[in-house]
């Protein structure tokens, strides 16, 4: 490009100078790159000449190992954090299950006592009907036991939480299987048994109580009242 000295030529001269500078920078960078390449080639040649390639590779391997170890440590820390959260959740669920089962045991033991009382009452009533011709106050109290129908309603909040989070939260295999067996098999079986018992009471025991006895409620009484039977109805019941 020609650079004329006039009012516009100054700009042309400036353009020309910038172009020259840009060309000079490019050439300089190219020369620097060539010098850097030559420098590393000389280093490699020197390492090869001095048999230090193995040392260089060991150094590189060491750097790689350090990075890998750093990554593994970071992953392990993350795993520890996740495991800590899982452990905390497991403890929370186990505490909830323990609380639920404590209440269940208390209720079941109470139901067992009621059922023992009912079985004993049935035996006493059978014996009384066979041996006596007139009703007595003690018989009224015994008959009142027959109206009791224990009902077990398990507490399942802990097991519900476990199901929502996944049963694998429980780390102990035996404990996890025992929990699943209790809630998935034992409790449903007990519920079916209870339904059969209640159905038997509704079809057999309750109709007799309603037919021959009159109920007198007493909130202060252990079973909230007594059944009374007349002499005539007692004789009918004996037959």
C-alpha to C-alpha distance for 129 and 122, rounded to whole angstroms: 11
CA 189 centroid distance within chain: 23
Q: In sequence order, what are the residues at sequence separation of 6 or more whose Cβ sits closer than 8 angstroms to the Cβ of residue 206?
A: 147
pLDDT in tens, the chain (239 residues): 444 444 444 434 334 443 443 444 444 444 555 565 565 556 555 554 555 545 656 555 655 666 677 677 777 777 788 888 888 999 999 999 999 999 999 998 988 888 888 889 888 888 888 888 888 877 877 888 888 888 889 999 999 999 999 999 998 899 999 999 999 999 999 888 888 888 888 888 888 888 888 877 766 766 666 778 888 888 888 77
Count other Cβ atoms within 10 Å, centred on residue 122. 14
CA 69 centroid distance within chain: 33
C-alpha to C-alpha distance for 70 and 147, rounded to whole angstroms: 73
Judge residue 182's burial from the number of C-beta atoms within 10 Å of its C-beta, 0-12 exposed, 13-18 middle, 19 or more buried.
middle
> How long, in residues, is the chain?
239
Neighbouring-strand partners of residue 225: 217
The full set of domain ranges for the chain reads: 9-51, 89-238
């Amino acid at each position: 490009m020609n650079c004329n000295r006039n009012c516009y030529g100054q700009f042309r001269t400036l353009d020309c100078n910038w172009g020259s500078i840009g060309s000079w920078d490019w050439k300089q960078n190219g020369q620097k790159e060539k010098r850097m390449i030559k420098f590393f080639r000389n280093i490699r040649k020197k390492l090869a000449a001095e048999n230090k390639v193995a040392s260089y590779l060991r150094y590189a391997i060491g750097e790689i190992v350090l990075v890998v170890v750093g990554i593994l440590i970071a992953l392990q820390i993350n795993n520890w954090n996740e495991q800590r959260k899982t452990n905390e959740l497991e403890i929370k669920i186990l505490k909830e299950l323990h609380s639920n089962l404590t209440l269940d045991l208390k209720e079941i033991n109470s139901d067992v006592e009621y059922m023992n009382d009912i079985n004993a009452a049935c035996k006493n009533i059978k014996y009384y009907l066979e041996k006596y011709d007139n009703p007595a106050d003690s018989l009224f109290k015994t008959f009142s036991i027959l109206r009791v129908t224990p009902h077990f309603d398990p507490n399942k909040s802990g097991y519900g939480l476990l199901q929502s989070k996944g049963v694998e939260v429980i780390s102990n295999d035996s404990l996890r299987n025992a929990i699943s067996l209790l809630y998935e098999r034992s409790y449903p079986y007990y519920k079916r048994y209870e339904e059969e018992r209640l159905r038997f009471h509704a079809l057999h025991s309750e109709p007799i109580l309603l037919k021959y006895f009159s109920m007198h409620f007493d909130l202060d009484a252990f079973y909230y009242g007594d059944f009374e039977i007349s002499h005539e109805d007692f004789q009918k019941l004996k037959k």
